[in-house]
Amino acid sequence: MQNLLDGILKAFELLFKGDPEVVRITLLSLEVSGLATLISLIFGLPIGTFLALVKFPTRRFWISLINTGMALPPVVVGLVVCIFLWRNGPLGFMHLIYTPTAIVIAQVLIAFPMAAGLTLSSLQQLDPKLRIQLLGLGASKIQMVIILWKEAKLPLIAALIAAFGSVISEVGASMMVGGNLLGSTRVLTTAIVLETSKGLFASAIALSIILLLIAFLVNLVLTSIQQRRH
């Protein structure tokens, strides 16, 4: 109990004093996870939409693949990315291992199935007749998709929340491909693991509170947009 109280006090101390290292770690966490979420949406939204609206022979296979990816363990993602980015791997010449870019790649692979799968399920819940009506009224296919996205706004924002949550709290893959290097690839989750391994529970709890606070604030903004009534 004392460790918890000390951690809460230290969290406020780190926040109000603006500890440079904590600020750097926090900003890197937001940068990496924010970029990974954005990239996963850029690819996941159109692919999920395509799978929801277009019928083709291997469609069920790809949907099953996306759904399987939603349950993919982060450490498996980290292992695969390590194999590809390691110095003697297929992409070793790019020298990306133990860099923030490697963490972004791993987190995109984690968040992308979440974004694509939830987009797919969101659009499948809409009445199929709506598409026919929109096309009958003269809407182009692009206009139809935009209107469908607006109709499914609530679950689509939930997909964004889920995608961001899956990467901001991820630790296994980030540590495997980033190395948890001070001043380079250390993010909040990997810093928490490090402080815990050293027995510095107050510092670990303080960083955990900062991580939860960031997650809450981001989700508060997204939830406010989601629940807005016009």
* Ranges of each domain in the chain: 28-185
pLDDT in tens, 176-210: 999 888 888 899 999 989 888 887 777 788 888 88
Domain 28-185 CATH superfamily: MetI-like (1.10.3720.10)
Give dist(CA 200, CA 209) in Å, integer. Answer: 15
- 155, 222 contact by CB (below 8 A): no
Query: Residue 8's pLDDT is what?
Result: 72
Amino acid at 17: K
* 128-136 and 141-151 helices, crossing angle to 10°: 140
Give dist(CA 125, CA 104) in Å, integer. Answer: 31
Q: How many residues does the chain have?
A: 230
Query: Residue 4's pLDDT is what?
Result: 67
Indicate the average pLDDT of the chain. Answer: 86
Give dist(CA 73, CA 78) in Å, integer. Answer: 9
Query: Residue 229's pLDDT is what?
Result: 58
Give dist(CA 161, CA 114) in Å, integer. Answer: 10
Mean pLDDT split into 10-residue runs, the chain, 230 residues: 68 72 87 94 93 90 92 90 90 90 94 92 85 80 86 86 89 89 88 85 80 88 73
